[in-house]
Amino acid sequence: MFKLRFCFEKNGTSAYISHLDLMKALQRSFVRAGIPVKYSQGFNPHIEMSIVVPLSTGYETRCDLCDLDLVCDDMPENFVEDLNAVMPRGMKVLHAGAADRPVREIAYSAYEIVLPAGDALAMKALFDGPVTLEKRSKRGRRDVNLQDYIKELTFANEGDKTLCRCILAAGNDPLNPMYLTQALKNTGLVEEDATAKYIRTGILDENCEIFWKK
Amino acid sequence: MNDTIRACLEHVRKPARYTGGEYNAVYKDKSQVDLRFAFCFPDLYEIGMSHLGSKILYGLLNSMEGVWCERAYAPFLDMEEQMRKRGQPLYALESGDPVGEFDILGFTLQYEMNYTGVLNMLDLAGVPKRAADRKELKPLVIAGGPCVYNAEPMADFFDLITIGEGEEVMPELMNLYRACRDAGESKAEFLKKAAQIGGVYVPSLYEITYKEDGTVAAITPRDGAPAVVRKRVVKDLDKAYYPEKFVVPSTDIVFDRAMIELFRGCRRGCRFCQAGYTYRPIRARQPETLKKQAEALIANTGWDEVSLTSLSSSDYPHLETLCEGLVAKFEPMHVNLALPSMRADSFNLDLAQNIQKVRKSGLTFAPEAGTQRLRDVINKNLQEEDLLEACKLAFAAGYNGVKLYFMMGLPTETDEDLLGISKIVRNVQRTFREYAKNKARGLRINVGISIFVPKAQTPFQWLGQISAEEAARRKEVLMESLNIKGVTYSIHEYKTSFLEAVLARGDRRLSAVLERAWQLGCRLDGWEENFNFDAWMQAFSDTGVDPAFYANRELAPDEVMAWDHISSGVTKCYLYSELEQARKGIATPDCKAGCRNCGALSLTGGKCDV
């Protein structure tokens, strides 16, 4: 058996494929590409795989990771090319290799948030102090201080957009970047009905280094 | 996808339904395309994407040089609200371009309750709903599908309607459209020529007059349109176009699997069943063809299931050979076979077990009526012993769930027939107690009861549907008798079935009702939570149309029917003789016992693969 990990992009229309649907879409891609995937034993055999850090529906990613068990002993030749030939539009495998680093070492996700043009300085200033918001998770709702989840944060005006680049907690208690937009909307720095675009740009370890590279 | 669509998607459930980009979706270079076709399905994405006919036509049209066929589905209410709020017109999923700018919008009419969906999609597209209000050739709004055997309630909205199978007529139509457009001909000139193509019905070329009592007086064609439009059929299914690729959805749909089509037509002749008459004659594919098609589809889609579809799959003569071949090929690939539409009297346990080596599904049978007398009336040639025998075999092999489908309100039905349903259910339970391999697991029986809707082009087309009061009374009888431990049941809403009955035997005067109902907010009427019966009743009253005239009235034997100018090949005379047999309670043997000369053979020059 070979434990494979690959890094992929999800752009354009494919950003709207939800986490559960993405599992299915990838599994079908593996079958189309003839990848020697490993099936689970049991009544309903399924392909052994996992998407390492789930992503919200509608968000793009330049760097998501998928772990996959193969029945072969080594990395299949042309894995990246074969899979890219059969992926849904907007999805692309960037590189693949052995899943040699444990997922628990993931600590942060980096995001870009594309906002309508606004006051970048005021936006930055908002997060210099405590920002309390109700955070929803599987375990329920609770008030949190967003500062506790933000590792790095910058705002810059670019053309008719304001670009927010941030590094946020991942792992057991992650922060969805939409809470930053929500905080900006609550204080009127972004209009209530404005549309924001979210792009995951990195999955990082404790030292804010790229968690996994081939 | 533009920014407006993106903004809409931020606020809707299941946005992947509205993006396109699925694997095998066809993208073409616009500079190489001279005919843009929007295949419009007037129901939600998860329904439309499950429909085989759409996949065939999508592949076929896109195989034509210079033609780009894209898809559009009815948006759910939340998406419609966003689109209207943001001024986003209905767009094609592939290009994101507004379908109102396309050459042709083609709707498929699968179900009467989708009719308002057509109007809503035209409105969202910014295209005038009535054909008479669209003066130019472009956009042309056309329709096809099983409802066309009486699509008169929709006649005012479509420029033309194709009757029957689309594989041959669609390319002919595309070519005619191109030729007329390039020659600068008017819409009227095009339609006149189109009416000369076999299977093409141009509603505006027929004048309908009515008698004082409201019945149809005459249907008069003009400009050389044929007096009767006969449906088109493909003679040789082995040679017919069949896609090697299906669009693979990136989100859940109803039938998320590959499909092969074993045969068209059905030899059984159940008298209530429209498909049983309108898909005749029987034409089968060879098992070799089917195996190749299934293999190509699985390789090109990555699906883990292939469904073997037809109107009655256990009647396919090569079923065992085919399944053996498919299981041998697909089992090692973890690909499951699904075999819907099995009859209890030809249930084959070995086969059922063989195909379920990969995954096990439940049993489903449709006795349709509770007594042998009534099953003879409707010509459902199924004996209760056959059903119990099939259950016995299945229970002994370890099955412990069964779904049973019945209808209520069938012609000549009495309370004894209704009570017969619970008798069958109890007999199935007894069979389980006697033969089950594992009695401790218990038996789950699911009973689904729908309300009979008389359909055009069937022997029961002359008959009326039972009234609301009578339906309510019979429902009580059923509910009382089906209160049995281990049995769950559901009975269809009468109101939906009533409206279906109005539209199924309706005429052109219902176009105004449909338009009014749409104005009153009716859409996605097939979804119970959206169905607004009061709004429909308001639409009837606002337009001065009596729905009971269409739903509940028995038609006179010699009455001109609103759909008399449309022919499925089966003659009206044959249908009437079947009605008379029904009234006498006499069943007609299935076509295998000998040709009954229904008339459908004339479509293929004598070929019928019974």
Counting runs of H as helices and runs of E as strands, what totals does chain B give? 20, 19
Tell me which chain B residues have a C-beta less than 8 angstroms from the C-beta of A39.
334
The reply to whether B40 falls in a domain is yes
Q: Which residue has the tokens 């005429």?
A: B507
How close does chain B come to A120, measured CA to CA in Å?
A: 22
What percent of chain B stands above pLDDT 90? 90
* Mean of per-residue pLDDT scores for chain B: 95
- B466 CB neighbour count, 10 Å cutoff: 24
Query: What number of CA atoms fall less than 13 Å from residue A4's CA on the CB side?
Result: 26
Are B23 and A58 inside 8 Å of each other by CB? Answer: no
Burial grade of B527 (CB within 10 A; 0-12, 13-18, 19 or more): middle
**How confident is residue B340, by pLDDT bands cut at 50, 70 and 90?**
confident
Domain A104-205 sits in CATH at 3.30.70
Which chain A residues touch B19 with a CB distance below 8 Å?
13-14, 16
Mean pLDDT in residue range B155-180: 98
Please report residues of A whose CB lies closer than 8 A to that of B250. Answer: 14, 16-17, 21-22, 25, 88
Burial A115-153 (b: 16+ CB within 10 A, else e): beebebeebeebbeeebeeebeeeeeeeebebeebbbeb
Residues B227 and B564 sit within 8 Å (Cβ to Cβ): no
Owning domain of residue B33: 3-230
Alpha carbons B77 and B54: distance in angstroms, whole number: 23
Q: What pLDDT is recorded for position B356?
A: 61
Tell if the CB–CB gap between B22 and A88 is shorter than 8 Å. Answer: yes
Determine the pLDDT at residue A42. Answer: 80
Q: Is residue B75 part of a domain?
A: yes
Helices vs strands, H then E, count in chain A: 4, 10
Are the Cβ atoms of B10 and A58 closer than 8 angstroms? yes
CA-CA distance, B2 to A149, in Å (whole number)? 33
CB B545 within 8 A of CB B513: yes
Residues of A in contact with B3 (CB under 8 A): 195
As a 3-state breakdown, chain A gives helix, strand, coil percent values, each rounded to 5, of 25, 40, 35
Candidates B303, B305, B302, B290; CA nearest to B358 is B305
In angstroms, the CA B190 to CA B224 distance is 13
Q: What value, to the nearest 5°, has the Cα angle with vertex B107 and ends B103 and B108?
A: 145
Please report residues of A whose CB lies closer than 8 A to that of B18: 16
Q: Do A13 and B10 touch (CB under 8 A)?
A: no
Over residues B367-417, the pLDDT tens digits come to 999 999 999 999 998 999 999 999 998 888 888 889 999 999 999 999 999
B68 domain residue, yes or no: yes
Q: CB of B465 within 8 A of CB of B454?
A: yes
Q: Kindly determine whether residue B299 and residue A32, on different chains, have CB atoms separated by under 8 Å.
A: yes
Predicted local distance difference test score (pLDDT) of residue B241: 97
Judging by DSSP bridges, how do beta strands B104-108 and B336-338 pair with one another?
unpaired
Q: What is the pLDDT of residues B183-199, one digit of tens each?
A: 999 999 999 999 999 99
Distance CA B405, CA B200 (A): 36
Interface-testing mutation among A47, A89, A193, A199, with chain B (most B C-beta atoms within 10 A): A89
Among B16, B27, B302, whose Cβ lies nearest the Cβ of A18?
B16
Whether A16 has its CB under 8 Å from any CB of chain B: the answer is yes
Which CATH number goes with the domain that contains B47? Answer: 3.40.50.2300
DSSP string, A188-209: TSS-TT---EEEEEEEEETTSS
CB contact (8 A) between residue A21 and residue B250: yes
| A19–B contact, CB cutoff 8 A | no
Cα–Cα distance measured from residue B73 to residue B124, given in angstroms and rounded to the nearest whole number: 11
Question: In chain B, what's the furthest Cα-to-Cα distance?
Answer: 75
Instruction: List pLDDT tens digits, range B415-466.
Output: 999 999 999 999 999 999 999 888 888 899 999 999 999 999 999 999 999 9
Residue A12 DSSP code? G
When pLDDT is averaged across residues B49-57 and rounded to a whole number, the result is 97
Residue B303: which of A28, A43, A44 has the nearest Cβ? A28
- Rounded Cα gap, residues B178 and B2, in angstroms: 30
- The nearest CA of chain A is from the CA of B334 a distance in Å of 8
Cβ of A28 and B23 within 8 Å?
yes
Closest CA to A204 of A164, A171, A165, A155: A171
Which residues on A lie below 8 Å from B23 (Cβ)? 25, 28-29, 32, 86-89
For A58, nearest residue in chain B (alpha carbons): B10
**Candidate from B21, B302, B359 with C-beta closest to A14:** B21
In this complex, do A86 and B251 lie within 8 Å of one another by their Cβ atoms?
no
Provide the terminal-to-terminal Cα distance of chain A, rounded to the nearest Å: 19
Question: Which residue of A9, A10, A13 to mutate against B (max B Cβ within 10 Å)?
Answer: A13
Residue B54 belongs to some domain of the structure: yes
- What fold, for A2-100? Alpha-Beta Plaits (3.30.70)
Instruction: Give the nearest chain A residue to B95 (CA atoms).
Output: A13
User: Do residue B301 and residue A44 have CB atoms under 8 angstroms apart?
Assistant: no
B52, B106, B42: which is closest to B75 by C-alpha? B42
The distance from CA B220 to its chain's CA centroid, rounded to whole angstroms, is 29
Residues of B within 8 A of A29 (CB-CB) are: 23, 302
Q: Which of B23, B95, B250 to mutate to test the interface with A (most CBs of A within 10 A)?
A: B250
B314 Cβ contact partners less than 8 Å away, ≥ 6 residues apart: B341, B342, B343, B346, B347, B348
Distance (Å) of CA B599 to CA B232, B278, B571, B606? 14, 11, 6, 10
Own/partner long-range contacts of A49-55 (Cβ < 8 Å, ≥24 apart): A49/A23, A51/A19, A51/A22, A51/A23, A51/A26, A52/A5, A52/A103, A52/A106, A52/A203, A53/A106, A53/A109, A53/A170, A53/A174, A53/A203, A54/A19, A55/A10, A55/A19, A55/A200
pLDDT of residue B359: 46
- Which residues on adjacent β-strands are paired with residue B471? none
B585 within a domain of the structure (yes/no): no
Q: Judging by beta carbons within 10 Å of its beta carbon (0-12, 13-18, 19+), is residue B228 exposed, middle or buried? A: exposed
Q: Which residues are CB-neighbours of B191 under 8 A, at least 6 positions away?
A: B159, B160, B202, B204, B205
CB pairs A-B closer than 8 Å = 76
Provide the pLDDT for residue A44: 79
Any domain includes B410: no
How far is it, in rounded angstroms, from Cα B522 to Cα B518? 5
Cβ contacts of A18 on chain B, cutoff 8 Å = 14, 16, 251
Please tell me which of the candidates A16, A30, A39 has its beta carbon nearest to residue B15. Answer: A16
Spell out which residues of chain A touch residue B299, defining contact as CB-CB under 8 Å: 32
What is d(CA B303, CA B246) in angstroms, rounded to the nearest whole number?
A: 10
E strand residue ranges, B94-173 = 104-108, 140-144, 160-162
pTM > 0.80: yes or no: yes
Regions in chain A scoring below 50 on pLDDT = none
CB contact under 8 A, B19 and A29: no
Task: Please say whether the dihedral angle defined by the alpha carbons of residues B565, B568, B569 and B571, taken in this order, is positive or negative.
Answer: negative
pLDDT of residue B358: 43
CA–CA separation, A30 vs B139, rounded Å? Answer: 41
Whether A191 contacts chain B with CB within 8 A: no
Least confident of A191-200, B146-155, B344-353: B344-353
How many angstroms separate the CA of residue A66 from the nearest CA in chain B?
17
How many domains does chain B contain in total?
1
Please answer whether residues B61 and B106 qualify as being in contact, where contact means their C-beta atoms are separated by less than 8 angstroms. no
Q: Shortest CA distance to B457 belongs to which of B581, B570, B602? A: B570
Written as six digits, the tokens of B482 are 């089906």
Regarding beta strands B216-221 and B206-210, do their DSSP bridges make them parallel or antiparallel, or are they unpaired?
antiparallel
Q: What would the pLDDT profile of B240-283 be if each residue is shown by its tens digit? A: 999 999 999 999 999 999 999 999 999 999 999 999 999 999 99
A39, A58, A87: residue with CB nearest B15:
A58
Neighbour count for residue B525 (Cβ, 10 Å): 26
User: Is-contact B410 B370, C-beta < 8 A?
Assistant: no
Give pLDDT, residue B357. 52
Q: Is A29 on the interface with B (CB under 8 A)?
A: yes
Question: Pairing between strand B336-338 and B305-309?
Answer: parallel
Q: Are B215 and B560 in contact (CB under 8 A)?
A: yes
Query: Is B92 a domain residue?
Result: yes
**A31 part of contact set with chain B, CB < 8 Å:** yes
Q: Is the CB of A21 less than 8 angstroms away from the CB of B19?
A: no
Query: How close B303 gets to chain A, by Cα (Å)?
Result: 6
Helices (H), B74-150: 77-86, 115-125
- Domain positions in chain A are 2-100, 104-205
Alpha-carbon torsion (B95, B101, B103, B108), positive or negative: positive
- Taking contacts as CB-CB distances below 8 angstroms, the residues of chain B near A57 are 15-16
Helices (H), B101-157: 115-125
In a domain, B217, yes or no: yes
Residues facing residue A39 across a β-bridge: A47
Percent above pLDDT 70 for chain B:
99
Q: Compute the nearest-CA separation of A108 from chain B (Å).
A: 25
